[in-house]
């Protein structure tokens, strides 16, 4: 059994923590798999605390070297479209508790928190903010998907979707459809698709994520500005 409390942490060299970046790995992996994204984020945001936990359930390792710590967020054996949402939903209370505990421990508000995930981790990140709007200011979803067509969109969380055009595990078309569905319910979402990239946390997608974090102004910020201007 893997434990969520086994977490890799990268903290600022000095000074207070200004942002909290929580990275959720993919199926049959570990927090260490998120190191390339963590390093890129640390360079761009030196005052951020970057945390990469291991998922709580033991998973089948992808190779012998991964056998010591291969974890999954939810069980995939006998997974069907019918039981998939329930399995994801069952993991959200513990994930929510963990996210809020890290925010409290490090003194970071939800608006300054970003939840990033790859594959299974992206599915969990998206599901969490769809259920708990505003628990994080942003989600960076790499190679993930929404569990169902949304009836409403988060108002306090911006969703950034990243996908490889050649992803055969979770096809990019799902992210295209998610972006359209979110737009129809006035969601704040973006989509970047990298050509020639499969189901991997690719440097091209990491670069897109950095650009989104540094340049995208959340819709909630625009709403607040227009409200204060009396529009």
pLDDT at 3 > cutoff 70: no
What's this model's pTM, rounded to 2 decimal places?
0.92
**DSSP secondary structure of 136-179:** SSEEEEES---SS--SS--SS-EEEEEEETT-SSS-THHHHHHH
Tell me if residue 188 is catalytic: no
Tell me if residue 167 is catalytic: yes
Spatial separation of the C-alpha atoms in residues 147 and 85, rounded to whole Å: 6
pLDDT at 66 > cutoff 50: no
pLDDT tens for residues 14-39? 999 999 999 999 998 999 999 999 99
Predicted pLDDT at 5: 58
Percent of all residues in the chain with a pLDDT value above 70, rounded to a whole number: 90
Chain centre distance of CA 201: 12
Predicted pLDDT at 231: 46
Look at 64 and 8; give whichever has higher pLDDT.
8
Catalytic-role residue among 25, 28, 30, 167: 167
Predicted pLDDT at 219: 84
Catalytic-role residue among 28, 30, 119, 175: 119
Judge contact between 15 and 47, C-beta under 8 A: yes
Tell me if residue 77 is catalytic: no
7-10 and 158-164 strand pairing: unpaired
pLDDT at 65 > cutoff 50: no
Average pLDDT over residues 55-69: 62
Judge contact between 138 and 110, C-beta under 8 A: no
Residue 116: which of 157, 76, 177, 68 has the closest Cα? 157
Q: pLDDT confidence of 223, banded at 50, 70, 90?
A: confident
Spatial separation of the C-alpha atoms in residues 20 and 148, rounded to whole Å: 28
pLDDT at 62 > cutoff 60: no
Average pLDDT over residues 50-75: 75
Chain centre distance of CA 150: 17
Return the bridge partners of 49, or none: 20
Chain centre distance of CA 176: 17
- Domain map of the chain by residue range? 7-228
pLDDT tens for residues 123-166? 999 999 999 999 999 999 999 999 989 999 999 999 999 999 99
Domain 7-228 sits in CATH 3.40.50.1820: yes
Judge contact between 117 and 144, C-beta under 8 A: yes
């Amino acid at each position: 059994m893997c434990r969520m409390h086994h977490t890799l942490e990268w903290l600022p060299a000095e000074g207070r923590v200004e942002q909290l970046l929580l990275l959720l790995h993919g199926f049959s992996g570990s927090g260490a798999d998120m190191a390339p994204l963590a390093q890129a984020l640390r360079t761009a945001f030196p005052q951020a605390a970057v945390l990469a936990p291991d998922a709580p359930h033991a998973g089948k390792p992808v190779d012998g070297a991964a056998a010591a710590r291969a974890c999954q967020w939810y069980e995939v054996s006998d997974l069907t479209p019918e039981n998939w949402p329930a399995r994801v939903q069952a993991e959200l209370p513990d994930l929510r508790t963990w996210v809020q505990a890290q925010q409290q421990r490090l003194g970071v508000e939800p608006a300054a928190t970003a939840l990033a995930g790859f594959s299974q981790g992206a599915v969990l990140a998206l599901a969490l903010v769809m259920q708990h709007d505003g628990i994080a200011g942003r989600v960076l979803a790499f190679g993930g998907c929404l569990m169902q067509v949304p009836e409403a969109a988060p108002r306090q969380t911006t969703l950034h979707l990243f996908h490889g055009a050649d992803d055969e595990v979770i096809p990019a078309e799902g992210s295209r459809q998610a972006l359209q569905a979110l737009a129809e319910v006035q969601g704040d979402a973006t989509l970047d698709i990298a050509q020639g990239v499969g189901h991997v946390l690719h440097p091209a997608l990491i670069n897109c994520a950095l650009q989104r974090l540094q340049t995208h102004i959340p819709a909630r910020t625009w709403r607040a500005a227009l409200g204060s201007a009396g529009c």
